[in-house]
Chain A
Amino acid sequence: MVRRILYGLAILATLFGVWGIYDRIVSGHQSAAYGSYVVWGLWVALYLFFTGMAAGTFVFATLDYLFRVPIFARTGRLSLFLSLITLGAGLLHIWLDLGHPERVWKAYLQPNFNSVMDQIVWGYTIFGLIILIMLGMSFQPQRYAGWLKALSAIGLFLALFLSGGVGALLGVQAARPFWHVGLFPVQFPFFSLASGAALLLLVYGLFDRAANEHRRSLLRTLAILTLVLQLIKLYFLWADFSQSVYGGMPMNVAAVNEVLFGRYWWAFWILQLFLGSIVPIIILLWPRLATEPPWAALAGFLVLLGFAAARANIVFPALSVPELPQLIGAFHSSRLQFHYFPSLMEWAVSVGISGLAGLIFLVAYDRLPLTPEHVRSA
């Protein structure tokens, strides 16, 4: 029953996305709500979100192939597959966000390696290829054990480098004090790990329903990891915001105020903090709940919801603070606004990409041996 509902939702979301992508292709960026001041919108936030999950789930694959952690034995293939899908969803978001998507080849053939963005483009491309190759090899793990180990090591380095790199993408910009924090590249790998753990909780909670001791142990381990990473995330949040407010730099304080008390305060207090952090922490603190598949899935989903809101709360507020205060009224245009809420087309594209990623996962999960039998039902 749950599977059917998920299939239905994924198909509907994909169809909605077809309209959105059609609009994006035909009308360019004209239906988008972002402008020249809040210049990055929903798609960039979700690019950070999905690629974070990709890096996080890959790290969990290395627990199987590289570190041989018994509890994660033979879970690597599913982790790799999740990593591939989420990476694809993230990259599709950012590709559609480009003004000239057809010129993306220039980032490869005419690169500026001094640009963090170009480093990330190359990094994600290599990362994606490594996932693909490893996924292929994972169907014959005995034969390719050595290769899987070596590629895991390279991929692990890339996953951490790319997570940190995404933090650096924002952090190197001195023009945006809210982003220009030395700890940004340090924080993002933790965020990636946490979202990877949460995605695995969701997937194992929803699909791997066989009641056996191994699965319970897996859920318990993922729950503890998610819990610890959630607490670290909250500490980073506190450190960021308290330093900004105490420091008193106007652009920084304005950005924090925008997150906490601005037009979209609910995205922080309700989505990111209450639903995305406090509720899952309560669930995960309770061992009996944390190892019950539906509750584990709920906790994973809520953590991911919180991370999606957190990504938006990192990207938008920094851009909502004028570089020069008088820019607000200097020249009037709908493209020169300092507030932003995604348009219907933007939502459609994001819902569609998420739906398509979900649909691909559902089909693959049903058709491919992504989880070995001893995990699934032994």
Chain B
Amino acid sequence: MAEPSGKHELDRRELLTKLASAVFAGLVAPAVIGEGAAPARAATLPELPQLPPPRPDEDPVVRMMRDLQRALQKPVEQRRWIMVIDLRKCVGCHACTISCVVENKLPPGVVYRPVLEEEIGTYPHVTRRFIPRPCMQCDRPPCVPVCPVNATWKRPDGIVVIDYEQCIGCRYCITACPYGARTFDFGDRYTEGTPRAQAFLVGQEGAAVHETIPMFEYGRPHPRHDEASPVGNTRKCHFCLHRIERGLLPECVVTCIGRATYFGDANDPESLVSELIARPNVMRLKEELGTEPKVYYLL
């Protein structure tokens, strides 16, 4: 009698695995089938999200989306994407870090936007400061000239990108970055060595689906298997380029619970980010190195 029970369990496991796969496949299918790699040209813009008419009290996210759509109408070389992070509003919830991990299907040890925590003073006179640290998308990026095979470069809109198929994995760019913003994909998996389970989202059957479905960095699907890129490559934050080219804000911006992260086109004087960086309480990390970061912090 044991056999039918085992068979039943197996069926259920298969069913759950297939169900999980189907759900995730449904989520990612549009990007896999054809909609994948839309170029950044204004002339070939995808259908952008519909926005409500402007209001004086509208959420900054809506305004930033409007700014984004306006920027996308311009040729790519006339855009200058920047990020502004208001440290007075950041509560250190790490939602941006985690949403980035989910959006880009980051494996263990790869992180694009950690939140640095700084304790100032001594007890009981202590304050804490939280500093989210995405890639600075430097105007003079030290990581670019050191690459021996031109696998990383600055786009016309200022975003520093990596060609995973070109990168040889020498990690020279990682040592050159003054912000520790590049990490190496060792091919590790979260589910490695974890127990098997019959649940939907835990255990290898469920959770591994998350690790095997493709991520869409740079606007094309990257299925994760064996030693194929981006395993063995350097990886970094790209301001969610695949999202902004579709009129969506970077994932860390929309998931920030305190509206502490802003994104937009610095070449547009009407944009929210242009207003913010004109304030006197703006600073950038390690300005003395002359890297001209495009991430600004409000103090």
Do the two shown chains form a genuine complex with each other?
Answer: yes
Write the residues of chain A forming the contact surface with B, with a CB cutoff of 8 angstroms: 28-30, 32, 35-37, 39-40, 97-101, 103-104, 106-107, 110-112, 114-118, 121, 169, 172-176, 319, 322-324, 326-327, 329-331, 333-336
Q: A37-B180, A99-B184, A324-B133 known; A330 and B116 CB under 8 Å?
A: yes
Q: A103-B168, A110-B166, A326-B116 known; A30 and B142 CB under 8 Å?
A: no
Q: Is the CB of B184 within 8 A of A107?
A: no
A192 CB to closest chain B CB (Å) equals 21
Question: What residues of A have a CB within 8 angstroms of the CB of B176 in the complex?
Answer: 173, 175
| B131 at the A interface (CB under 8 A) | yes
A118 CB to closest chain B CB (Å) equals 4
Report the Cα distance A322→B114, complex, angstroms.
14
Question: What residues of B have a CB within 8 angstroms of the CB of A32 in the complex?
Answer: 186
B130 CB to closest chain A CB (Å) equals 9
Q: Is the CB of A176 within 8 A of B175?
A: yes
Report the Cα distance A149→B99, complex, angstroms.
64
Q: Is the CB of A330 within 8 A of B169?
A: no
Interface size band for B: 35 or more
A346 CB to closest chain B CB (Å) equals 13
Q: Which 4 A-B pairs rank lowest in CB-CB distance, beginning with the nearest?
A: A99-B169, A335-B109, A99-B232, A326-B116
Report the Cα distance A326→B120, complex, angstroms.
12
Q: Is the CB of B172 within 8 A of A117?
A: yes
Contact of A330 among B115, B171, B233, B234 (CB under 8 A): B115
**Which of A100, A333, A334, A335 has most chain B Cβ within 10 Å?**
A100
Q: Is the CB of B146 within 8 A of A322?
A: no
Contact of A112 among B148, B179, B186 (CB under 8 A): B148
Q: Chain B 115-159 against A: per-residue CB contact (8 Å), 1 yes, 0 no?
A: 111100000000000010100000000100111111000000000
Report the Cα distance A169→B170, complex, angstroms.
12
Q: Is the CB of B147 within 8 A of A112?
A: yes
Report the Cα distance A37→B177, complex, angstroms.
11
Question: What residues of A have a CB within 8 angstroms of the CB of B188 in the complex?
Answer: 30, 335
Question: What residues of B have a CB within 8 angstroms of the CB of A112 in the complex?
Answer: 145, 147-150
Q: A39-B171, A106-B168 known; A174 and B178 CB under 8 Å?
A: yes
Report the Cα distance A330→B148, complex, angstroms.
30
Report the Cα distance A342→B183, complex, angstroms.
19
Q: Is the CB of A36 within 8 A of B168?
A: no
In the complex, which residue of chain B has the Cβ closest to the Cβ of A36?
A: B183
Q: Is the CB of A100 within 8 A of B169?
A: yes
Q: Is the CB of A99 within 8 A of B145?
A: no
Q: Is the CB of A335 within 8 A of B149?
A: no
Report the Cα distance A104→B285, complex, angstroms.
34
Question: What residues of B have a CB within 8 angstroms of the CB of A333 in the complex?
Answer: 108-109, 111
A360 CB to closest chain B CB (Å) equals 26
| B174 at the A interface (CB under 8 A) | yes
Secondary structure type dominating chain B contacts: loop
In the complex, which residue of chain B has the Cβ closest to the Cβ of A44?
A: B171
Report the Cα distance A115→B167, complex, angstroms.
14
Report the Cα distance A118→B166, complex, angstroms.
14
**Which of A173, A174, A175, A176 has most chain B Cβ within 10 Å?**
A175
In the complex, which residue of chain A has the Cβ closest to the Cβ of B117?
A: A326
Q: Is the CB of B147 within 8 A of A115?
A: yes
Report the Cα distance A329→B109, complex, angstroms.
13
Report the Cα distance A334→B142, complex, angstroms.
26
Pull 13 A–B residue pairs with CB atoms less than 8 Å apart, ordered by A: A98-B232, A100-B169, A103-B169, A104-B168, A107-B148, A115-B146, A115-B172, A117-B146, A173-B146, A323-B179, A326-B131, A330-B116, A331-B97
Q: Is the CB of B289 within 8 A of A323?
A: no
| B182 at the A interface (CB under 8 A) | yes
Report the Cα distance A324→B177, complex, angstroms.
11
Q: A30-B188, A98-B169, A107-B149 known; A327 and B180 CB under 8 Å?
A: yes
Question: What residues of A have a CB within 8 angstroms of the CB of B108 in the complex?
Answer: 333-335
Report the Cα distance A39→B181, complex, angstroms.
13
Q: Is the CB of B118 within 8 A of A115?
A: no
| B59 at the A interface (CB under 8 A) | no
Contact of B171 among A99, A101, A173 (CB under 8 A): A99
Question: What residues of A have a CB within 8 angstroms of the CB of B47 in the complex?
Answer: none
**Which of B111, B149, B171, B289 has most chain A Cβ within 10 Å?**
B149
Question: What residues of B have a CB within 8 angstroms of the CB of A37 in the complex?
Answer: 180
**Which of A331, A334, A336 has most chain B Cβ within 10 Å?**
A331
A120 CB to closest chain B CB (Å) equals 9
Report the Cα distance A111→B149, complex, angstroms.
5
| B187 at the A interface (CB under 8 A) | yes
Give chain B interface residues in 197-218, CB to chain A under 8 Å: none
Q: Is the CB of A99 within 8 A of B118?
A: no
Q: Is the CB of B146 within 8 A of A331?
A: no
B53 CB to closest chain A CB (Å) equals 41
Q: Is the CB of B167 within 8 A of A329?
A: no
Report the Cα distance A226→B148, complex, angstroms.
35
In the complex, which residue of chain B has the Cβ closest to the Cβ of A334?
A: B109
Q: Is the CB of A324 within 8 A of B167?
A: no
In the complex, which residue of chain B has the Cβ closest to the Cβ of A27?
A: B187
| B57 at the A interface (CB under 8 A) | no
